[in-house]
Amino acid sequence: MASQKLLDMLNEAASREIQVSIQYIWQHIMCRGMFSETVSEILEKISIEEMKHYEAIAERIDYLGGTPTTKPSEIKYGKNIKEMLEIDKKDEENAITLYRKIIEAAEAEKDFVTKKLFEDILKAEEEHHYKFSTLLEAD
């Protein structure tokens, strides 16, 4: 059904979603200092959204005949809220780049369901990126 290239890209996305789910929930727990309550709540909410992204991507990989990964990309934490948000902003930028490539590849393969799935996830990732960017401005 899907090319191996597309399946590999989907698994890269799945690995990334596991990574940020764990990373953001850990950061939610470890937030300290001024603004920690606000940032902690945001990280918890986004972590849950990222896990839902993983579920949707894994289901799509399975449908396309692949095996979804259960291994996260490298998890990065940061020592304080500013470092956490800088790391998280960069991770969202990397996701945006990857997901745009997946959308292009899915369209080229006429896999419009995968394309739509990643258009929806891309929108959420752009919102996460914006949230982290604006939180960094408050610092």
State the CATH number of the domain containing residue 113.
1.20.1260.10
Which pLDDT tens digit goes with each residue over 25-61?
999 999 999 889 999 999 999 999 999 999 999 999 9
d(CA 59, CA 21): 17
Give the pLDDT of residue 104. 98
pLDDT of 127 above 90? yes
Give the pLDDT of residue 4. 97
Provide the domain count of the chain: 1
Q: Predicted confidence band at 138 (pLDDT cuts at 50, 70, 90)?
A: low
Which pLDDT tens digit goes with each residue over 72-119?
999 999 999 999 999 999 999 999 999 999 999 999 999 999 999 999
Q: 42 near 135, Cβ under 8 Å?
A: yes
d(CA 85, CA 62): 33
Cα–Cα–Cα angle for 11, 17, 23, rounded to 5 degrees: 140
Give the pLDDT of residue 132. 97
- Of the listed ranges 7-16, 33-42, 48-57, 121-130, the least confidently predicted one is 33-42
pLDDT of 139 above 60? no
Q: Whole domain around residue 131: which residue ranges?
A: 4-137
First to last CA, the chain: 48
User: Helix axis angle, 4-30 relative to 36-63, nearest 10°?
Assistant: 160
